[in-house]
Amino acid sequence: MLKRTVTCGELRAKDKDREVVLSGWVASWRDHGGVIFIDLRDISGLTQIVFGREKSGLDKGKEEELIKQAQKLRNEFVIAVKGVVSARPEGTENKKIDTGDIEVIVTEMELLNKCRELPFDFKKMDEVGEETRLKYRYLEMRVGKLKDNLVFKHKLFQVTRNYFSGKGFYEIETPFLTRATPEGARDYLVPSRVNPGKFYALPQSPQLFKQMLMVGGFMRYFQIVKCFRDEDLRQDRQPEFTQLDLEMSFIDEADIKAVLEEYVCSVFDKLMGVKVSRPFPSLSYDQAMLRYGTDKPDLRIPAEITDISDLALSCGFKVFSDAAGKGVVRGLKISDADRISLSVINEVTKEVQQLGAKGLAWIRHKEEGLTSQITKFFKPEELEELSRRFKTIKGDLLFFVADSADTVSKCLSFLRTRFYEPRKDKYALLWVEDYPLFEKDAETGRWSPMHHPFTSPAPGDIEALRSGKDEDIARVKSRAYDMVLNGSEIGGGSIRNHSLEVQDLVFRILGIDEKESREKFGFLLKALSYGAPPHGGFAFGMDRLVAQLLNLESIREVIPFPKTQKAYSPITDAPSAVDRKQLDELFIKVDVPEDLT
Amino acid sequence: MLKRTVTCGELRAKDKDREVVLSGWVASWRDHGGVIFIDLRDISGLTQIVFGREKSGLDKGKEEELIKQAQKLRNEFVIAVKGVVSARPEGTENKKIDTGDIEVIVTEMELLNKCRELPFDFKKMDEVGEETRLKYRYLEMRVGKLKDNLVFKHKLFQVTRNYFSGKGFYEIETPFLTRATPEGARDYLVPSRVNPGKFYALPQSPQLFKQMLMVGGFMRYFQIVKCFRDEDLRQDRQPEFTQLDLEMSFIDEADIKAVLEEYVCSVFDKLMGVKVSRPFPSLSYDQAMLRYGTDKPDLRIPAEITDISDLALSCGFKVFSDAAGKGVVRGLKISDADRISLSVINEVTKEVQQLGAKGLAWIRHKEEGLTSQITKFFKPEELEELSRRFKTIKGDLLFFVADSADTVSKCLSFLRTRFYEPRKDKYALLWVEDYPLFEKDAETGRWSPMHHPFTSPAPGDIEALRSGKDEDIARVKSRAYDMVLNGSEIGGGSIRNHSLEVQDLVFRILGIDEKESREKFGFLLKALSYGAPPHGGFAFGMDRLVAQLLNLESIREVIPFPKTQKAYSPITDAPSAVDRKQLDELFIKVDVPEDLT
């Protein structure tokens, strides 16, 4: 086999007259009357190689033989060629590629493999349906965006591990075949052959193990690790996803946030060439909901929500005053809104109605001041107050929703993103904190943890926790913190309960009695009783982080071999039926109702 | 919370008079008449902290309060203390620890957590049974060897990724929920809820995916990744284990070996402070079996096996001549063997009989020359020839086994390790190559791959492969190579079949027809047909590698939360029974025969 001496992306004018061996894929093929031009591709780039140029110096018979070989080549055939680097004839340079000043005059060629007819045209990859792309993922990888995304992810992984390793974090492996624990989603189960009738679960996160590592004295732990959730994949989720998981002991929120901010800044600096300033802004959960209608606001969008419930309560517009009595009235100002026609407003009204609002009120600031169909219901001084609160100028458009706080938040948050297209080259990072520890399930009336059950309550709220009364429990804040980038939660974490007593209190409020908690995560509770240090941690969703950094629509674009929304792999055809014999060995039987088979 | 300003391992004499905050675990506790000495431990070391020394400068009331607090402490309580670094009184320094010149005079203390009564004495960890240690793994981690092993593994991981990343390898993730493929062991299966009656398999290795990455144009791939095998855990194996997996394209054996040798040398250099010379010695499989009786010889042991079948065939000792007619007669020389008494020889004879030998012949080189009970059967010139072949001198002992090549190899290989204790601080690395591509299953008479079915045959043996005759197939060599360290296989790899035609030939010999091969790994075969480059790779067993480097008995010593030989986790009690409801959702039923429940 001819062995490569250079890659397809590295030759330049200065390499003239060098004898080299290149190998790669035929990316394109042109026969110009007996002179054959091939763009040879590998992961590093393209090099033009030429057969039949006079200057090859081969004798005629050999030259003809070589041309004959080259004529049989087709796109994506795999070849190795020996040849001499030559400057391209003047005027034929290609400034679009790094190797565009040179070509390689081939003197020897070896066909390494053929390629059968391609299922799609590499030049029209954008038109290919996703399932087809997933089925021929190895073809999609050879060119274009997917390759770049995976290379970026590779670099992120190296920067990440070197950062945390340099900060004294230890990378420690946690088990994949573990015990089912309740963390909000369904577990994937794995039947045990050696322990008949018993099952392992694949981890939803290494949460309990990393807490045990803290009990074990590892004061700083990290790991880039696969996690598993058997969810219905409505959204942009995958059954298996990659998490940067970390935990620290003898620390508080400030310590963790300092490390994470420095990490994120170094990622932006090293991989994006972007300087991000520290500390990141921080919002309490309540503030975020009030000002942006969401706990994941995109701060690249300037518009903020303004509460006018007080004003609405006493105004003459009955829709507002009624709503303010039972809920809230809040508004959002859109600047430069002359572009927004009445027909767009009507469209948007339907959209917020689908989100649960009864209607959408609006007022424009025109030449003559605030005007709309509803301004007649307001006294002049009320309109003045509105104008003052929103700081309106000519061209502004105010939208109002009057409803429950939840609905109002949902609608106005939607309007923020509806009318502002954030700049793709800007990055807005923030912390959201002071979450409630619990939220009440509307259906069951039971309390559930807003993050996970190992999250510590705020120190000042322990008494409220002890009281056990609903109104007290509702106001207990947690020591959880999420990091938001451009309106997407890229990570979250918390200070954990290192006190067994507090952990027991939390379980009691969640309706998990002692027996159940001992059964389900007794091993963690036990560990806490053997000298657990104060500790807390964080986890980044690495797929989501890469997708956000690269402005990609879906995390599937950063996963080499992803599954579809049906948790199906088009490339391997997994999951698949298995032999009866295998199931017998595992002591299980398949039992699918007929209407599902 | 008092926040740590220094760790427990870093204070030295030069830090005298510094005010510091330390936190950690109470490692020991002594009350010397009102002055309380505590060794405070964290992962970095121990610092002696003192309560009630006069120089604390506290007023009497505060001092007494502090002492009272300190008297309530017990081993493994978690505390934070503020205090001032002070030189230990002359004569009380502890040279055994790095911080032994100083102590910290405590002025403030915070109890962070208590610890209940310990299940074992930390000082007698060696006497604690393994299952108990696994159950309280977090306690075992706080002290001693396990911690050091995990820290070493952490370092190995960082050195490894930085090495390969620096050499242009891309770290790319491969799926965990994938398709069952036959790789020699049972798969762990994962029922799919969304695809009723179907199952994912956990990967035994990323083999097929890394080959697809090569087809996808990634010319250098690596990953440190968990793999899964549902084996009977007779030996030192784990259901999940960690592999350093890599693959390269447009290369041959020499390229891969060069990269791997440089990697291993840099590991030895950076982590062990040991210089290893390159290139590593290399043995063919046949040579290894002949000279050492195993394909994983420990080259720290000098003794080599010598074949004397030719001599045996014509000698007067019927046991030898008979055996040489049907099998082989081979011997091993032990030097300095006067220490080996007749009773030891009798013992060893029983041992080799258990390995299948009918007996063990032996001859000593004494003052008077070769002597033993069997020398009378040999002519003087035959004895002379024996002495010449084995280069015997006075004190040598020759052992002979006469049997099938397999049995002889097994017994003499055993004797090599039986009489030589290799030096723990020496490391012998080698390659074993030129394995047969196939081996015949004695029971079924079917050919099976000696490595895996994607291994390429030696180029010169393709014709023998095509012939399809048993005697031809038996002599086909593979392009596989294993790396052996101190008698343990730490990794293996091969050049793969990039030609679909050759891959099909291999499947045919394995008795896998076209239908079956398309069904089981059609996706790889399909990928090969779309322009697969020549490629090959390697995988290191990282648990085994660490265990070998650290001279540990078991890979369980380098896994934070391992399973027992029953694939059971003493810490989490996994696997466990699961709710009927969960199984219903997965459309499976447990079906355990009564005698197993």
Residues 6+ apart with CB under 8 A from A277: none
Q: Please, which residues bridge with residue B111 across strands?
A: B79
* pLDDT score at B533: 98
* pLDDT score at A424: 87
- Taking the Cβ of residue B290 and every Cβ of chain A, the question of whether any pair is shorter than 8 Å is answered with no
Contacts of A523 in chain B (CB under 8 A): 571-573
Q: Which of residues 361 through 380 in chain B touch A, CB cutoff 8 A?
A: none
Contacts of A216 in chain B (CB under 8 A): 137-142, 147
Name the residue among A136, A150, A589 with its Cβ closest to that of B172: A150
Contacts of B499 in chain A (CB under 8 A): 113
- Taking the Cβ of residue A286 and every Cβ of chain B, the question of whether any pair is shorter than 8 Å is answered with no
- Taking the Cβ of residue B142 and every Cβ of chain A, the question of whether any pair is shorter than 8 Å is answered with yes
Q: Which of residues 484 through 503 in chain B touch A, CB cutoff 8 A?
A: 498-499
For chain B, 597 residues long, give each residue's pLDDT as a single digit of tens.
999 999 999 999 999 999 999 999 999 999 998 899 999 999 999 999 999 887 778 888 899 999 999 999 999 999 999 999 999 999 999 999 999 999 999 999 999 999 999 999 988 888 999 999 999 999 999 987 999 999 999 999 999 999 999 999 999 999 999 997 755 679 999 999 999 999 999 999 999 999 999 999 999 999 999 999 998 877 788 999 999 999 999 999 999 999 999 999 999 999 999 999 999 999 999 999 999 999 999 999 999 999 999 999 988 899 999 999 999 999 999 999 999 999 999 999 999 999 999 999 999 999 989 999 999 999 999 999 999 999 999 999 999 999 999 999 999 999 999 999 998 889 999 999 999 999 998 888 899 999 989 999 999 999 999 988 999 999 999 999 999 999 999 999 999 999 999 999 999 998 888 888 887 788 999 999 999 999 999 999 999 999 999 999 999 999 999 999 999 999 999 999 998 889 999 999 999 988 776
* pLDDT score at A233: 72
- Taking the Cβ of residue B271 and every Cβ of chain A, the question of whether any pair is shorter than 8 Å is answered with no
Strand spans (E) along A434-554:
438-440, 447-449, 480-485, 488-495, 535-541
Closest CA to A221 of A460, A435, A535, A466: A535
Name the residue among B78, B116, B590 with its Cβ closest to that of A197: B590
- Taking the Cβ of residue B215 and every Cβ of chain A, the question of whether any pair is shorter than 8 Å is answered with yes
Q: Which amino acid is at A9?
A: G
Would you call B591 and A592 a contact, using CB atoms and an 8 Å cutoff? no
* pLDDT score at B182: 58
Would you call A576 and B209 a contact, using CB atoms and an 8 Å cutoff? no
Contacts of B503 in chain A (CB under 8 A): none
Q: Which amino acid is at A427?
A: Y
- Taking the Cβ of residue B150 and every Cβ of chain A, the question of whether any pair is shorter than 8 Å is answered with yes
Would you call B560 and A172 a contact, using CB atoms and an 8 Å cutoff? yes
What is the rounded CA–CA span in Å between residue B455 and residue B466?
16
Q: In Å, what is the CA distance from B224 to each residue of A163, A241, B174?
A: 18, 16, 11
Dump the DSSP string for B5-34. SS-TT---GGGTT-EEEEEEEEEEEEEETT
Only one residue has tokens 């290894």, namely B288
Half-sphere exposure at residue A409, Cβ-oriented, CA atoms within 13 angstroms: 17
- Taking the Cβ of residue A587 and every Cβ of chain B, the question of whether any pair is shorter than 8 Å is answered with yes
| Minimal-distance CA residue of chain A relative to B222 | A154
Closest CA to A286 of A557, A478, A471: A478
What is the rounded CA–CA span in Å between residue B440 and residue B460?
21
- Give me the phi and psi of B554, to 5 degrees please: -135, 150
Residue environment code for A163-178, b if the CB has 16+ CB neighbours within 10 A, otherwise e: bbbeeebbbbbbbbbb
> 3-state SS of B166-234?
HCCCEECCCCCCECCCCCCCCCCEEECCCCCCCEEECCCCCHHHHHHHHHCCCCEEEEEEEEECCCCCC
Would you call A228 and B176 a contact, using CB atoms and an 8 Å cutoff? yes
Q: Of B586, B594, B595, which to mutate for an interface test with A (greatest number of A Cβ within 10 Å)? A: B586
Q: Percentage of residues in chain A with pLDDT exceeding 90?
A: 84
Q: Which amino acid is at B107?
A: T
Residue A322 confidence (pLDDT) above 90: yes
- Taking the Cβ of residue A590 and every Cβ of chain B, the question of whether any pair is shorter than 8 Å is answered with yes
Residue range A20-66, pLDDT digits in tens:
999 999 999 999 988 999 999 999 999 999 998 877 788 888 999 99
Contacts of B217 in chain A (CB under 8 A): 25, 41-43, 138, 141-142, 147
3-state secondary structure of B284: strand
Only one residue has tokens 């451009």, namely A486
- Taking the Cβ of residue A442 and every Cβ of chain B, the question of whether any pair is shorter than 8 Å is answered with no
* pLDDT score at A183: 55
CA of A90 vs chain B CAs: smallest distance (Å): 32
- Taking the Cβ of residue B446 and every Cβ of chain A, the question of whether any pair is shorter than 8 Å is answered with no
- Give me the phi and psi of A301, to 5 degrees please: -90, 120
CA of A136 vs chain B CAs: smallest distance (Å): 8
Name the residue among B25, B197, B561 with its Cβ closest to that of A592: B197
Residue range A105-143, pLDDT digits in tens:
999 999 999 999 999 998 888 899 999 999 999 999 998
What is the rounded CA–CA span in Å between residue B152 and residue B155?
5
Q: Are B169 and B220 in contact (CB under 8 A)?
A: yes
Name the residue among A112, A523, A590 with its Cβ closest to that of B571: A523
Would you call A560 and B43 a contact, using CB atoms and an 8 Å cutoff? no
Q: Please, which residues bridge with residue A493 across strands?
A: A481, A538
DSSP 8-state code for residue A186 = P
Name the residue among A42, A560, A589 with its Cβ closest to that of B219: A42
Please give the average per-residue pLDDT across A80-94, as a whole number.
Answer: 95
First to last CA, chain B: 51
Predicted model pTM: 0.95
CA of A480 vs chain B CAs: smallest distance (Å): 18
* pLDDT score at B597: 65
Contacts of B172 in chain A (CB under 8 A): 150, 153-154, 560
* pLDDT score at B443: 85
* pLDDT score at A515: 83
Under 8 Å CB pairs connecting chains A and B tally to 370
Would you call B216 and A137 a contact, using CB atoms and an 8 Å cutoff? yes
- Taking the Cβ of residue A125 and every Cβ of chain B, the question of whether any pair is shorter than 8 Å is answered with no
Q: Of A29, A115, A190, A233, which to mutate for an interface test with B (greatest number of B Cβ within 10 Å)? A: A190
DSSP 8-state code for residue A272 = I
3-state secondary structure of A46: strand
- Give me the phi and psi of A153, to 5 degrees please: -60, -40
Q: Which amino acid is at B204?
A: Q
- Taking the Cβ of residue B37 and every Cβ of chain A, the question of whether any pair is shorter than 8 Å is answered with no
Name the residue among A43, A255, A530 with its Cβ closest to that of B219: A43
First to last CA, chain A: 51
Would you call B576 and A198 a contact, using CB atoms and an 8 Å cutoff? yes
Secondary element (H or E) of residue B110: strand B102-113
Would you call A142 and B216 a contact, using CB atoms and an 8 Å cutoff? yes
Dump the DSSP string for B70-108. HHT--TT-EEEEEEEEEEPPTT---TTSTTTTEEEEEEE
* pLDDT score at B384: 93
Would you call B586 and A189 a contact, using CB atoms and an 8 Å cutoff? yes
Name the residue among A138, A532, A582 with its Cβ closest to that of B113: A532
* pLDDT score at B561: 97
Q: Do you find a cis peptide bond into A575, omega within 30 degrees of 0? A: yes
Q: Are B496 and B453 in contact (CB under 8 A)?
A: no
Residue A309 confidence (pLDDT) above 90: yes
Domains of chain A, with CATH numbers?
A: 13-113 (2.40.50.140), 301-419 (3.30.1360.30)
Please give the average per-residue pLDDT across A384-411, as a whole number.
Answer: 96
Please give the average per-residue pLDDT across A319-346, as a whole number.
Answer: 94
Would you call B186 and A193 a contact, using CB atoms and an 8 Å cutoff? yes
Closest CA to A245 of A178, A173, A166: A173
Mean pLDDT of chain A: 94
Contacts of B198 in chain A (CB under 8 A): 575-577
Classify residue B343 as exposed, middle or buried by CB count within 10 Å of its CB (0-12, 13-18, 19+).
exposed
* pLDDT score at B143: 86
What is the rounded CA–CA span in Å between residue B153 and residue B241?
13
Half-sphere exposure at residue B406, Cβ-oriented, CA atoms within 13 angstroms: 3
> 3-state SS of B251-275?
CCHHHHHHHHHHHHHHHHHHHHCCC
Name the residue among B141, B585, B588 with its Cβ closest to that of A216: B141
Residues 6+ apart with CB under 8 A from A564: A130, A131, A134, A570
CA of A28 vs chain B CAs: smallest distance (Å): 14
Contacts of B523 in chain A (CB under 8 A): 571-573
Q: Do you find a cis peptide bond into B191, omega within 30 degrees of 0? A: no
Would you call A154 and B142 a contact, using CB atoms and an 8 Å cutoff? no
What is the rounded CA–CA span in Å between residue B185 and residue B180?
11
Residue A198 confidence (pLDDT) above 70: yes
| Minimal-distance CA residue of chain A relative to B499 | A113
- Taking the Cβ of residue B118 and every Cβ of chain A, the question of whether any pair is shorter than 8 Å is answered with yes
Give me B56's structure tokens: 């604390």
CA of A166 vs chain B CAs: smallest distance (Å): 10
* pLDDT score at B236: 82
